[in-house]
Amino acid sequence: MSADGPDGCQACPSEWVDLCKMSTAVPSPRRVCRRLLHFCCWRGAAHVVHCNDDDELQRRRPRRSTALLDAATAACRGRRAPTSPLRDDDGALTSGGRRLFSRNGATVSCCRCRCRAVPRPAAPSRPSLFRYSDSVLTALFSSTVDRIGNKYRLGRRIGGGSFGEIYLATNILNGEEVAVKLENPQIKHPQLEYEARVYRVLAGGVGIPYVRYFGVIDGGYKAMVMDFMGPSLEDLFNFCQRTFSLKTVLLLADQLISRIEYIHSKNFLHRDIKPDNFLMGLGRRGNLVNVIDFGLAKKYRDPRTGLHIPYREGKNLTGTVRYTSINTHLGIEQARRDDLESLGYVLLYMLRGSLPWQGIKATTKKEKYDKIMEKKMTTPVDVLIRGCPNEFAIYLNYCRSLRFDERPDYSYLRRLFRELFIREGLSYDYRFDWTIKQEEEQARKAMLQTRAPLAAQAPKPVPTPPLTPGANGTDRGGRRY
């Protein structure tokens, strides 16, 4: 059998030749189609496909999106495969029928008449969340454009948690940046698919991110592609030295009450209200608050019959303990009132800088939760809002007084804070604390840049000649020193 070079191979199925030409997502791909070997370099990871005597691979012939990944996995596990003399890129045989490829610790050594194992790459430094090596993950997440929705290429990691990882990704068609949430297939309680369904129910609402794609990618990971947004309120809170002005808190309260009202109008409870789950927009939507993380959301009302879920007790605590309502601590089924009570704690947290039950120590998690519940129940509202306007006490008392299935008066709560806003003489210019601080820093940098050229152009002072000691404490010029 004779080889036709990089563009063809008589000994290889045409499908494998086509696979070796996948180069749209690789910055500098190396494609070699020879008599018995296909070699493809995916960003430094060596992946080998032997397509002559390997009946298993020929019989299987996986689809385009997974073929090279399967071969890469087999190579990294030390699979033995038949080898044969190779040719250089110009078509000439290598010296002694040997050729060595080495990329990131993955080495392929080929001899004329025997088989050699492919050594396993070095142990990855990535946490055990992923079950592939670093080299295969690089190929999986960075090389093929059709890994996620046929048009999203993953970039750097921007977050993560017990559910999986969050990556920044790029739409290869228009260059738009998006966020991709990946869920580990080995997670005990998967929730990403449910969260994607909730997003689709809420789609179209103001401040609700748009989910562009959901599916299962290679390796069994579930991926959800959604709008890329700005920093969270917790990030901005830290940026502003962990305190917000009354104006910023009231501007946020007006939007947050509306977001929760919309979620409730779609028959869902959020059940994890906290600053980390509220993100500011970017660009023209930089003043818009967005709600994320609906993994704990729950339907509280049948959309067809309008029937509310029944009252129950003995429920496990769901949400973030710092902001959960007292009824949630007591094991009572959550309802609309609990989302609003949690929002009240969030507003006081941002206005005060902290809450009285922060920093409680305990030996077990249950003991800590019990102490926090006791502190919440025994702290009077007047003490909780000390130094804050009385409207926050009215808000909190109203939320705590609601019945289990009662619909909150969202308009009343918004009006409560809007009247306070007007009475304080504040302006609805959407100049948040972080906006003002960023403008001040930019002005300071501009001033420093302006002063630097002026300092360089200023005349240098004439050096004074050194004093030479003279008689009676004077120098030779008669000057006293």
181 marked ligand binding residue:
yes
Amino acid of residue 433: D
* φ, ψ for residue 107, nearest 5 deg: -120, 135
Residue among 250, 273, 259, 161 nearest 207 (CA): 259
Asked whether the beta carbons of 318 and 373 are under 8 A apart, the reply is: no
Selected catalytic residue, list 146, 218, 227, 272:
272
CA distance 358 to 97: 70
Q: Tell me if residue 272 is catalytic.
A: yes
Residue 472 CB-density burial (10 A; 0-12 exposed, 13-18 middle, 19+ buried)? exposed
Please give the span between the terminal C-alpha atoms of the chain, in angstroms, as a whole number: 100
397-428 b/e (C-beta count within 10 Å ≥ 16 → b): ebbbebebeeebebeebbebbeebbeeeeeee
* φ, ψ for residue 227, nearest 5 deg: -60, 145
Positions annotated as catalytic residues are 272
Residues annotated in a binding site: 181
Residues annotated in a binding site for ATP: 181
